[in-house]
Structure 1
Amino acid sequence: MGMLLIICTSILAYLLGSIPTAVWFSKYRYGMDIREHGSGNAGATNTFRVLGKKAGIFVMSIDILKGFTATSLAWVLDYSGMIAPYDEFWIYKMIFYKLIFGSLAIVGHIFPVFANFKGGKGVATLLGMMLAVHHTATLLCVGVFLIVLFAFRYVSLGSLLATLSFPLLLLSPRFRPEDPIVIVFGFLMFTIVALTHQKNIVRLLQGEESRANIRMRKRD
């Protein structure tokens, strides 16, 4: 029974991540597929670029919620009695399942079953996952992203540096998590984000990456 619950919860986490917010929203609201415009990416950044601020904020918010909700499914196991609160390894088990479910949501966002496995880069979904795992360090990472974005106007650079900041912050005694596996996971997630941003990194190195026009009004 316990293993069946874990399998079902894992599938649910992937399906939550697979909700192609940008694709469904662009088709329903604008009658077009966001993947056929802009960078061709089915994520919040391309939605901001193509459809404007309001659409971008909506898509980003739902994608963050996907990651947070999927990661929080670990509490289902706790409420079911699979992870007893009096267990001395309770916190380690909770973190382990949070990382598993959150990772499945990210995989779902990148390879969504509901959109022919062609999704986004998973940054917003990762943000939701990070909030569920360690919200204090994550909020500081958001600060790093905003500083880089307003200083250099590169969304990709902000995403990369913010993601890298997460495990680096957790290495300090002030933010050290109960389970060191979170730090290892942080570096792993940065590697995945870097891989999904390979083209962006090349363009950054060549000075050809598009800058975000923060002040320009876009059509909503």
Structure 2
Amino acid sequence: MSQLLMLAISYLVGCISGSYILGKLFYKKDIRNYGSGNAGTTNAMRVFGKKFGIITFLIDFIKGAVLILILKFIFKLDNTKLLLASLFCILGHDFPFNMNFKGGKGVATTLGTFAIFNFLPTLISVVFWIVFTLIFNTASISSIAFFILLFLINLYFKTFSDIQVILLIIVVSIGIFRHNSNIYRLITGKENKIGARKR
């Protein structure tokens, strides 16, 4: 598989949006027109309910996990190419061409790709993510912490080349950047708790 084809496929897989597909299929609604306007798990949960949010998370997680699973164990790609594939899958989720580049924030998709790429650091990051969620009951705080810890714990457990560290930084930076509106609301005290539904 050529690198260009691999990146194109990774991006297109990322463009599969769980919340958008389910919203159109079951509610005849575009999730981006409701709540925060984000096509991700948290907004899906707030707008359409917890069950809808869980299914959204699973779709976005599985697409990333299956992509890296195939590339890692069938095509035997090295870590640099796997990180590139993860990055482009996340870019597809966050900026899908078929949704006018207005997608989600990439937490579930990042989790899915990294769960296969490097399982133990990802698992530890998820544990901290859950702890932060239970403590603060705010999705944005726990998600931002997840991205930061994912980077730090990966570096602790594994030796990366310079290009791989740069790719890790880009993945984490995109994840945090996608939460910029949440960061503003956290600073101003206007951020919503998990489960606070918007219509």
Above 0.5 in TM-score?
yes
Instruction: Give the aligned CA root-mean-square deviation in angstroms.
Output: 2.0
Q: What's 2:194 paired with?
A: 212
Q: Could you tell me how far apart the structure 1 residues matched to 2:150 and 2:99 are?
A: 30
The one-letter code sitting in structure 2 at the alignment partner of 1:42 is: A
Percentage of matched positions with identical amino acids: 33
Q: Which moved more, 1:47-56 or 1:68-77?
A: 68-77
Aligned with residue 134 of structure 1, among 110, 118, 131: 118
Give the partner amino acid of 1:128.
G
Equivalent residue runs for 1:9-28 within 5 Å: 9-28=6-25
Residue 54 of structure 1: how far off its partner (Å):
1.0
* Higher RCO structure, 1 or 2 (CA under 8 Å, sep 6+): 2
CA distance in 2, matches of 1:116, 1:143: 34
CA deviation after TM superposition for structure 1 residue 110, in Å: 1.1
Alignment of 1:64-213 (within 5 A): 64-75=61-72, 76-78=74-76, 94-172=78-156, 175-177=157-159, 179=161, 181-213=163-195
Q: String of CA shifts for 1:93-114, please: whole Å, max 9, x gaps.
A: 6101101111111111111122
Q: Deviations over 1:150-209 (max 9, x none)?
A: 11111011000011011212333xx22465654443333221112111111111111111
Query: What's the TM-score once normalised by structure 1's chain length?
Result: 0.82
Q: Report the CA distance between 1:9 and its aligned residue.
A: 2.4
**Where do 5+ consecutive residues of structure 1 fail to align?**
79-92
Provide closer, same or farther for how the CA distance between residues 162 and 128 of structure 1 changes in structure 2, counting only shifts above 3 A: same
C-alpha distance in 2, partners of 1:100/1:170? 16
Equivalent position amino acid for 1:94 in 2: D
State the partner residue of 2:5: 8
User: Which structure's CA Rg is the greater one?
Assistant: 1
Do the aligned residues in 2 keep the contact of 1:13 with 1:73 (CA within 8 Å)?
Answer: no
Question: TM-score when scaled to structure 2?
Answer: 0.90
1:39 to 2:21 alignment = no
2:26 maps to a residue whose letter is R
Q: Is the Cα contact below 8 Å between 2:84 and 2:167 reproduced in 1? A: no
Aligned partner of residue 38 in structure 2, secondary structure: coil
Matched-pair contact (CA < 8 Å) for 2:182–2:191: yes
